[in-house]
Amino acid sequence: MATEKEVKLRLKQLDKYLLKEYKEKYSYKKNVSNYDFEFCKRMKKTVRFLNPIIKKATKGIIHIQNTGRPQKLNLENKLRLILIKQLVGKSNRFTTCLLELFSLMFNIDVSYKYLERLYSDSDVIMALNSLFTLIIKEKKINNIDCCGDATGYSLSISKHYCSYVTKLKEKSKVANCRRQFVYNFTLMDLKSKMYVCYGTSLRSEKDAYNNAMKMFSKTNIKINSIRLDRYYSGPSIVRQFSNSTVYLIPKKNVSLSNGLAWNKMLSRFVDDTFGYLREYYLRNNSESGFSSDKKLLGWKLNQKRTDRIDTAIFCKIIWRNLFQLYA
């Protein structure tokens, strides 16, 4: 079992030269030369299978309406419309104008307000949950090695999350960004590159993490190993995943008096640092995933209400999984 002195010494070595040596040995450059070709190929395949999977997701959902105006669109078209709107990444007004252009094919004539209300429509949210669960089942995700991280989506066109957090660093993970950005935490399965759960918050990254864990607790997925960044490095996280192998980089004020599971993780860190780092830095898949998501689906949200912001991010999560399902 490693001692506290050994752990702190290894952390100093990590900052001085181990990280540089690790990057020289194990880093790799991603080939982006065929990105556009691969993206177009994946897009065509996903769109081809979109209608069948939407029909499956909405099959068991029955809308009962006793009063009020009859529904303009059935649930299939509502789900299809909100996903297309999020993929296009335009405003509600602009999207309704596009619908006018394609009305001959889709036979959809709705206002921008109708489109906005879809983000808080209980039937649509139920259908999105059904679609998300169906995608996970189609990919047969049961036992996973995963990584987790959070990003932010801008609620203001004048603020860009990446440049903003670069200035604030750790302070950006709490209330400094309130009402300017929404935090989104996701757990990614390393094998399929799919998100198995997500959580959002306007308050802090930790709050988004807690919401994601609530969603994950409702699944039947088992975590074999998990990787999280230094913000989550603490004994409580190790205890939360007591049946999994946890990879965290300890903070500089680390202490060993926090239980056996925590001490075992620190021993693995000291005994085989490079092997530990190889596993830990698979966490970069989360950052790579966020980057591609924002390139495809945009970094800004047009919604203002909290529930509609959450739905908009859920649509982004589903698109990500759809692309991976038909990769």
Give residue-wise pLDDT tens across range 27-47.
Answer: 555 555 565 667 777 778 888
Residue-wise pLDDT tens digits, 232-291: 999 999 999 999 999 999 988 888 888 889 999 999 999 998 889 889 989 989 999 998
Structural domain boundaries enclosing 91: 4-27+36-60+74-325
pLDDT in tens, 77-103: 899 889 888 887 755 555 555 555 555
* Assigned domain for 166 exists: yes
| Phi, psi for residue 293 in degrees, rounded to 5 | -60, -45
Is 67 part of any domain?
Answer: no
In a domain, 117, yes or no: yes
Cα(256)–Cα(235) distance, integer angstroms: 9
Residues 297-306: pLDDT tens digits? 888 888 889 9
Q: How far apart are CA 193 and CA 144, in angstroms?
A: 11
* 65: in domain: no
Query: Is 297 domain-assigned?
Result: yes
Cβ–Cβ under 8 Å, residues 57 and 131 = yes
pLDDT digits (tens, 9 = 90+) for 171-218: 555 545 455 789 999 999 999 999 999 999 999 999 999 999 999 999
The three-state secondary structure class of 229 is coil
Q: What are the CB-based long-range contacts (under 8 Å, 24+) for 243-249?
A: 247/276, 247/279, 247/280, 247/283, 248/280, 249/14, 249/280
In 190-308, beta strands by DSSP E: 194-201, 222-227, 245-247
How many independent structural domains does the chain possess? 1
Q: What share of the chain is helix, strand, coil (3-state, %, to 5)?
A: 60, 10, 30
State pTM to two decimals. 0.85
